[in-house]
């Protein structure tokens, strides 16, 4: 199967199955709408602050280096916070940069309720605020990547694999993220897609896990009680990496034909395992260069008084994707 390209459109998501309702997630729009608030700055952008709190995730090092290179090409400066996955540190860093010479911030809020008032302060100071991975009430624009649909793509691919290759209802662990808008919408999409393609799937556990270490711990615990789990779907690709490692540690053969691991977001370890024929079978991801360009281009467009393109396309990558090696290379391999 080749990588499939999908660009989100503003749509009303169909009601989810009963199991989705039980997750207690609130589903919000993934259309990349911009809140009706003041635009913030009124001059061209020279310096952009990228505030990505999950600096320990493998994807961060990939994005930050590529972002520096692209910003230099565009003749602007990009600066980075170091939040270390800590909300109080994120708040402190953003507050400090408020009085700096940055013209725009692209921020992934760990807790939107805590960050929204800071976003308003940036707007009041004449700066642009771009919300990465969701929406705030106060923002100039947003950067999104088809959250619900990307989860649905993964769930449907996993469900098709179960129907065609497993031959029986899969036993599933879902590694969810209920702490962010992007995580909630992706989790809902995974569950919806799986139910659409494999309605008899048995979800034995749904647990929070974002980092590889969190997923390793959660998956080990679930496998202790459910050693027959044959499918792990993660709302964050780095969590899928931890699940993959846990399955290997449990004695599962890397090329086991009755195991499916899949995640959202590109991850070098997952792409390499997929390339080697292991049981990593689906990754839905943006292309790192698309995120990098959007992070720089959206503030620049705002500074020019233009309406930016706010939704980045996502792709399903499988072992049969002809451009698999390109993803390995793009993510540092």
Q: Is the pLDDT of residue 74 over 90?
A: yes
Residue 40 has a pLDDT of: 56
Residue 96 scores a pLDDT above 80: yes
How does residue 180 score in pLDDT terms, banded at 50, 70 and 90?
Answer: confident
Class at the top of the CATH hierarchy for domain 47-143+289-310: alpha beta
Q: What sign has the CA pseudo-torsion 46, 134, 124, 120? A: negative
CA angle 91, 92, 93 (to 5 degrees): 95
Cα–Cα distance list, 217 to 109, 178, 242 (Å): 25, 17, 8
Distance of CA 146 to the CA centre of its chain: 9
Model confidence at 39: pLDDT above 80: no
Question: So what's the pLDDT on residue 237?
Answer: 82
Identical fold for domains 4-28+146-285 and 47-143+289-310, yes or no, is: yes
For the segment 58-62, the average pLDDT, to the nearest whole number, is 81
pLDDT tens-digit series, residues 105-155: 999 999 999 999 999 999 999 999 999 988 999 999 999 988 999 999 999
Task: Find where tokens 């930016």 sit.
Answer: 308
> Who's near 225: CB < 8 A, 6+ residues apart?
204
d(CA 180, CA 111): 7
> Taking the domains of the chain in order of start, what are their residue ranges?
4-28+146-285, 47-143+289-310
- Domain 4-28+146-285, CATH class in plain words: alpha beta
* CA gap 41, 295 in Å, rounded: 17
CA end-to-end distance (rounded Å), the chain? 22
CA dihedral (140, 143, 148, 149) positive or negative: positive
Which residues, listed in sequence order, are joined to residue 232 by a DSSP beta bridge? 173, 261
In angstroms, the CA 280 to CA 266 distance is 12
- Output the CA torsion sign for 180, 184, 189, 191: positive
């Amino acid at each position: 199967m080749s990588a499939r390209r999908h660009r989100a459109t503003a749509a009303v998501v169909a009601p989810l199955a009963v199991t989705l309702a039980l997750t207690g997630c609130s589903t919000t729009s993934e259309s990349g709408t911009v809140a009706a608030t003041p635009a913030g700055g009124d001059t061209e952008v020279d310096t952009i602050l990228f505030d990505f709190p999950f600096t320990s995730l493998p994807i961060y090092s990939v994005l930050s280096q590529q972002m520096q290179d692209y910003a230099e090409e565009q003749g602007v400066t990009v600066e980075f916070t170091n939040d270390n996955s800590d909300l109080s540190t994120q708040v402190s860093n953003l507050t400090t940069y408020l009085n700096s010479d940055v013209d725009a911030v692209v921020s992934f809020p760990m807790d939107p309720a805590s960050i929204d008032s800071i976003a308003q302060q940036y707007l009041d100071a004449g700066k642009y605020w771009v919300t990465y991975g969701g929406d705030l009430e106060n923002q100039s624009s947003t950067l999104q990547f088809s959250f619900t649909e990307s989860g649905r793509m993964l769930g449907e691919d996993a469900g098709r694999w179960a129907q065609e290759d497993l031959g029986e209802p899969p036993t599933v662990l879902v590694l969810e993220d209920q702490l962010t808008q992007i995580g909630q919408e992706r989790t809902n999409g995974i569950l919806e897609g799986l139910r659409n393609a494999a309605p008899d799937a048995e979800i034995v556990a749904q647990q929070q896990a974002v980092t590889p270490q969190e997923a390793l711990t959660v998956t080990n615990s679930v496998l202790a009680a459910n050693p027959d789990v044959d499918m792990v779907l993660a709302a964050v690709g780095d969590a899928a990496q931890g699940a993959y490692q846990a399955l290997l540690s449990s004695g599962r053969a890397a090329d086991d034909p009755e195991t499916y691991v899949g995640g959202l977001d590109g991850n070098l370890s997952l792409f390499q395992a997929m390339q080697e024929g292991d049981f990593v079978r689906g990754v839905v991801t943006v292309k790192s260069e698309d995120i990098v360009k959007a992070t720089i281009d959206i503030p620049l467009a705002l500074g020019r008084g233009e309406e930016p393109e706010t939704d980045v396309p996502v792709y399903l990558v499988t072992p049969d994707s002809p451009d698999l090696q390109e993803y390995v290379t793009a993510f540092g391999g």
